[in-house]
């Protein structure tokens, strides 16, 4: 991992004292390439909706194998996004971390209806951060339970 996400013990202690520790954004799901596009990896948690992630936003990718999906299969990867570089990216990164965290009672935040809400209200996934803002605006209550 990068120095940003794996600091030395001294750097960790300094960040802890300064209250500047950040939780990295890690995504685990299905991935695929886009024919003719060398700058994006498409990511999906359900094979129904795919989100293009620019490679410039990805710090590390770890291949986790292949997962069967209906009558086909997809590669599965663990993606570590780069550290946020702006206030907007920091907010959106925090939303991703919170959205992907378990809710009280052990349920995962992606509840029934969440994917439907995202597909109906936020179908344009060409810009990752714009899409996240749309989900936060229209689907926050549905997706958070």
8 A C-beta contact, residue 7 and residue 18? no
What is the DSSP code string of 94-124? Answer: HHHHHHTSBPTTS-BS--TTHHHHHHHH---
Residue 82 burial (CB < 10 Å; 0-12/13-18/19+)? middle
> Can you tell me the distance from the alpha carbon of 123 to that of 101, in angstroms, rounded to the nearest whole number?
23
pLDDT at 105 exceeding the cut of 60 = no
8 A C-beta contact, residue 67 and residue 47? no
CA 69 from chain centre, in angstroms, equals: 20
Secondary structure percentages of the chain, helix, strand, coil, to 5: 35, 30, 35
SS3 18: helix
pTM of structure: 0.60
Comparing 52-66, 98-112, 114-128, the range with the smallest average pLDDT is 98-112
Per residue in 4-54, pLDDT (tens digit) is: 557 789 988 998 888 777 777 888 888 999 889 999 999 988 888 899 999
pLDDT at 99 exceeding the cut of 70 = no
Identify the band that residue 89 occupies on the pLDDT scale cut at 50, 70 and 90: confident
Give pLDDT, residue 145: 45
């Amino acid at each position: 991992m990068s120095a940003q996400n794996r600091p030395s013990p001294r750097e960790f202690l300094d960040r802890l004292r300064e209250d500047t520790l950040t939780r990295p954004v890690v995504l685990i799901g299905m991935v695929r390439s886009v024919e003719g596009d060398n700058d994006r990896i498409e990511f999906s948690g359900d094979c129904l909706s795919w989100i293009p992630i620019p490679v410039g936003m990805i710090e590390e990718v770890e291949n986790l194998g292949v997962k069967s999906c209906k009558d086909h299969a997809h590669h599965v990867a663990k993606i570590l996004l780069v550290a946020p570089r702006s206030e907007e990216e920091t907010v959106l990164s925090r939303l991703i971390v919170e959205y992907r965290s378990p809710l009280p009672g052990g349920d995962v935040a992606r509840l029934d209806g969440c994917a439907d809400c995202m597909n109906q209200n936020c179908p344009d996934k060409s810009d990752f951060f714009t899409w996240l803002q749309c989900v936060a605006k229209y689907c926050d209550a549905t997706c958070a339970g």
